[in-house]
A and B are shown apart, each in its own frame.
Chain A
């Protein structure tokens, strides 16, 4: 029972963590990416399509990554080059992509809502025989797919890259002081675009994990607001990949809990709202803490 829950918690954390790491990098570069949901949805659909066509999970992942990256680039260009508001553009991308996906399914495959082609190659789980039987640890690390491993590898890698590489330094400077970055002769908008492409690519992978890692089909509600939950996770994480991972784990855990609690006496619809309620509670708590900090730091 506890093993199954822990395994599910890690599985449900993966898409949130991938998108949250992308969103974190994007935010450090100066854009709050509200469009992660759209990139996740696009990645999820393309992954199923390519997987069914080619029978290759690897190609499907690559296609999802490219899809997310392209959507990210489009969104970024609208924000950085046309000076559009990042919130409006991000929301617009999320709403528009959802509509386009529905239209695409209907007009190309003649299905509404769910696309379940034959021959979808799933992401294979990676079993670790030595640990498989181990209690708790086995459930956590054995049988997870490559994207889960990638997501967790990205946590220290991102922390390291932000601190130790010149791109990390330039990204941090771009988010903190655009005029400074321009004054020293760099192109802050291009740096910012690159960070959105990175975020889009990771959100695309998150979508692929949902469609060909977890369920093996595409449904228009498959992302289920996880792009927005990722937003909450990197807000929770401030500028730290480790704290962001903690936030993703928290929300992934509640996601898994809500699935396991279904079928008991609590109505399923109410349970499904649980992770989102937690998001609101956590962000409210953070907001209150910020306000308190601000008030005590207030000066005439």
Chain B
């Protein structure tokens, strides 16, 4: 490993500014990361963290100011240049070639070559084995990247940086996709790499993780650095205040008594298969009344995805019935589900929730383009569409340049606000919501929770699936636990606690 160099700043920035049109994504950022430390960059969605990291990695370039490496200002010509200087990054979207094996992905661009210019697979496997041992991970190197579990892909990305000799690792929200146990493993690995002399930039908005692993912490908000501190000098509350500014939002949503009357949504003996044809869900019975949020708690792969897809009308059930307000929707098209009053917020906002290449305005009215407000005689009315989108976005407190910008110009959390607002603007009767705040910061989460609770208070029915127990406990009036595709328990909000729900999710009985 590289000996700790005698520099004060291994990587950083000096008065670094980056603008995108009218938006100042990074405003005169000063950053100093000491060698051999874990330095966390925290901030809400749209705070400018990802832009800064892209610049540090040479993928994007500053309009003013410079990147600093080993105390010297440098101008990076590209990611290859950054790599040559020991700086590597694990992106939020993984940079792996899906049809290639994990081993092939590891050695890509740095293939060990033996006689006759052929790839020396034995040497590659040997080095891969050493790296896996270092990470304390068992990796099946022959697996295609597309088939590898997500935490393995994550570890591979980190190992690839090590394989290529990087001593500065930029990790952009690496824990967003991991389960709690895997997060612990990752933080442990980060500590180990730090102790061996490497420098780690850890981007996150999960403050408890930041507190656990950081040597130094820099807080960003709206493109600026608003605080510099260390884990020992601060706490989660202070960080949260710095992140969101002065008005820290209240997170608790009031629960409601279970409304009476006939259920709005009703499924009977519902069963569904996954794409491979495996029975994943059911049979389950499920009722949701108007003015009620029903949360579904389950460990990934226990049928919750299929339940969401069936309720949203995207997946045809293998068996059973679905009724909405008395209307029989068995075998109905997605269009009929939506016409009957089903709104759907997908967990996959990049593919199902939004069209990222289309404009904010087009995304905002998608599905309502036939309304007379937005089209007449088959022709769109762009002025009305843009005005409606501008009004809608104003109510979401979203930072954006113009309604003609592509949806991809929004940060992840703001994209989610847009996706939910779009569905609510159709005035649905049932809102099917999957992972509404995955990768969304504290302020965004509170905002989205309020949107959902507000919809409930106006008489809407909500089916909520989330991997975050905190979210389920904060929002749901009733919580169903799914295990092996069946309902393993049902709790009211007042009965539900993390432990009880956790037990039911694993198929055990609730404590008496």
**Smallest CB separation, B346 vs chain A (Å):** 9
Q: Which of A165, A179, A184, A296 contacts B108 (CB 8 A)?
A: A184
**Smallest CB separation, B120 vs chain A (Å):** 10
Binds B, one of A10-18, A167-175, A201-209, A220-228: A167-175
B410 interface residue per 8 A CB criterion: no
**Smallest CB separation, A126 vs chain B (Å):** 27
Q: Which of B275, B305, B308, B309 contacts A297 (CB 8 A)?
A: B275
- Give residues 82-118 of B contacting A (CB, 8 Å): 83, 89, 91, 95-100, 104-105, 107-111, 113, 117-118
A277 interface residue per 8 A CB criterion: no
Name which of B80, B98, B108, B111 has the most chain A CB atoms within 10 A of its CB: B108
The verdict on A165 contacting B97 (CB below 8 Å), with A170-B108, A297-B275 known, is no
Cβ A176 vs Cβ B275 within 8 A: no
Cβ B315 vs Cβ A164 within 8 A: no
Cα separation A207 to B118 with both chains bound (whole Å): 32
Contacts of A270 in B (CB 8 A): none
Nearest chain-B residue to A168 (Cβ)? B119
Contacts of B309 in A (CB 8 A): 299-300
Chain A, residues 221-257, CB within 8 Å of chain B (1/0): the string is 0000000000000000000000000000000000000
Number of A residues near B (Cβ < 8 Å) is 22
The verdict on A180 contacting B97 (CB below 8 Å), with A185-B109, A300-B315 known, is yes
Cβ A177 vs Cβ B312 within 8 A: no
B310 interface residue per 8 A CB criterion: yes
Contacts of B274 in A (CB 8 A): 299
Name which of A169, A172, A181 has the most chain B CB atoms within 10 A of its CB: A169
The verdict on A164 contacting B119 (CB below 8 Å), with A173-B97, A177-B97 known, is yes
The verdict on A172 contacting B275 (CB below 8 Å), with A166-B119, A181-B108, A184-B109 known, is no
A183 interface residue per 8 A CB criterion: yes
Which applies to chain B's interface (DSSP): helix, strand, loop or mixed? loop
The verdict on A300 contacting B314 (CB below 8 Å), with A173-B100, A177-B96, A185-B109 known, is yes
Cα separation A165 to B96 with both chains bound (whole Å): 19
- Summed over the interface, the residue pairs from A and B with CB atoms below 8 Å come to a total of 83
Name which of B105, B109, B312, B315 has the most chain A CB atoms within 10 A of its CB: B109
B180 interface residue per 8 A CB criterion: no
Cβ A185 vs Cβ B97 within 8 A: no
Cα separation A179 to B312 with both chains bound (whole Å): 33
Cα separation A180 to B310 with both chains bound (whole Å): 35
B406 interface residue per 8 A CB criterion: no
Cα separation A299 to B276 with both chains bound (whole Å): 9
**Smallest CB separation, B270 vs chain A (Å):** 13
Contacts of A166 in B (CB 8 A): 111, 113, 117, 119
Contacts of B111 in A (CB 8 A): 166, 169
Q: Which of A165, A170, A298, A300 contacts B117 (CB 8 A)?
A: A165
B173 interface residue per 8 A CB criterion: no
Cα separation A180 to B100 with both chains bound (whole Å): 12
The 8 closest A-B pairs by CB, nearest first: A300-B309, A185-B80, A300-B314, A300-B315, A177-B97, A299-B275, A166-B111, A184-B109
**B interface residues, Cβ below 8 angstroms from A:** 59, 78-80, 83, 89, 91, 95-100, 104-105, 107-111, 113, 117-119, 160, 164, 274-277, 305-306, 308-310, 312, 314-315
Can you list 24 pairs linking A and B with CB atoms under 8 Å apart? A164-B118, A164-B119, A165-B117, A165-B118, A165-B119, A166-B119, A169-B107, A169-B111, A170-B108, A170-B109, A172-B99, A172-B100, A172-B104, A173-B97, A176-B98, A176-B100, A180-B95, A183-B91, A186-B109, A299-B274, A299-B305, A300-B308, A300-B309, A300-B312
Known: A166-B111, A176-B98. 15 other contacts (CB 8 A): A164-B119, A165-B119, A166-B119, A170-B108, A172-B97, A172-B104, A173-B104, A173-B108, A176-B97, A177-B95, A177-B98, A184-B83, A185-B109, A297-B275, A300-B306
**A interface residues, Cβ below 8 angstroms from B:** 164-166, 169-170, 172-173, 176-177, 179-186, 296-300
